């Protein structure tokens, strides 16, 4: 996540649920929240017995959860919210649509990476093209009709050869994306709707947080 350098498993433990920040490890018994299902820190085990969380506390936690899932810092997240509030439709759902449209998230959704953080690193290293042009900005927002592909030189890397095998064995992508396993490319065929975004978030709480 951007400038966060501590163990990302602590973020899942702080939110009390899996945020799937480490890919396959999150599905294994090694997952930190499976072994220590309580917040990190000296008093983590006692957190369960604390007083009821306030409305503000729930709003804050939901906002932090969304930021951590997508790997976005506060300043940028607030900018996304302002953009969502200017667009037509429900602000919360629109915010998630914007977050889903980030290039690093699309790379992750297409199966080219095990996690969004890994996808972000691959994008920064210049392994992807958007509409035939090298794009190394993880926050780049894709649009309907855009084609995202692994660059020709990168397709010879051992990592992408392994990913090609995994993808060809039956990778599943959201309905708003299409994938061509043979060319290691995908395209945006529509805008992600709230029903397409299978993330355990209550976006209304985020709207309430910023509307205080």
CATH number at residue 132: 3.10.290.10
Structural domain contains residue 193: no
Q: Give the per-residue pLDDT at 37.
A: 61
Structural domain contains residue 43: yes
Q: Give the per-residue pLDDT at 140.
A: 98
Structural domain contains residue 32: yes
Examine the pLDDT at 182 and tell me if it is beyond 80: yes
Residues 135 and 61 in one domain: no
Provide the domain limits for residue 25. 9-99+200-210
Residues 93 and 110 in one domain: no
Residues 166 and 92 in one domain: no
Encode pLDDT of 32-91 as tens digits: 555 566 566 555 555 554 568 899 999 999 999 999 999 999 999 999 999 999 999 999
Least confident of 21-25, 85-89, 208-212: 21-25
3-state secondary structure the chain: CCCCCCCCHHHHHHHCCCCCCCHHHHHCCCCHHHHCCCCCCCCHHHHHHCCCCCHHHHHHHHHHHHHHHHCCCHHHHHHHHHHHHHCCCCHHHHHHHHHHCEHHHHHHHCCCCCCHHHHHHHHHCCCEEECCEECCCCCCECCCCCEEEECCCHHHCHHHHHHHHHHHCCCCCCCCEEEECCCCEEEECCCCCHHHCCCCCCHHHHHHHHCC
Structural domain contains residue 2: no
Give the count of domains, the chain.
2
Structural domain contains residue 195: no
| pLDDT, greater one: 16 or 114 | 114
Residues 93 and 113 in one domain: no
Residues 58 and 24 in one domain: yes
Examine the pLDDT at 209 and tell me if it is beyond 90: yes
Residues 92 and 122 in one domain: no
Structural domain contains residue 47: yes
| pLDDT, greater one: 27 or 142 | 142
CATH for 69: 1.10.1050.10
């Amino acid at each position: 996540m951007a400038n966060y350098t501590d163990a990302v498993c602590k973020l899942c433990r702080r939110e009390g649920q899996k945020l799937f920040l480490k890919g396959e490890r999150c599905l294994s018994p090694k997952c930190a929240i499976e072994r220590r299902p309580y917040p990190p820190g000296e008093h983590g085990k006692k957190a369960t017995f604390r007083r009821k969380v306030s409305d503000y506390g729930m709003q804050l936690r939901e906002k932090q959860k969304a930021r951590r899932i997508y790997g976005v810092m506060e300043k940028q997240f607030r900018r996304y919210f302002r953009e969502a509030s200017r667009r037509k439709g429900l602000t919360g759902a629109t915010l998630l649509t914007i977050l889903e449209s980030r290039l690093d998230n699309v790379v992750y959704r297409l199966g080219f990476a095990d996690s969004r953080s890994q996808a972000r690193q691959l994008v920064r290293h210049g392994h992807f093209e958007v509409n035939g042009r090298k794009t190394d900005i993880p926050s780049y927002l894709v649009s309907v009709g855009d084609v995202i592909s692994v660059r020709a030189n990168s397709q010879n890397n051992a990592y992408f050869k392994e990913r090609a095998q995994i993808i060809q064995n039956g990778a599943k992508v959201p309905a708003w994306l299409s994938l061509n396993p043979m060319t290691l490319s995908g395209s945006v065929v529509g805008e992600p709707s709230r029903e397409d975004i299978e993330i355990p978030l209550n976006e209304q709480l985020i709207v309430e947080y910023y509307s205080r």
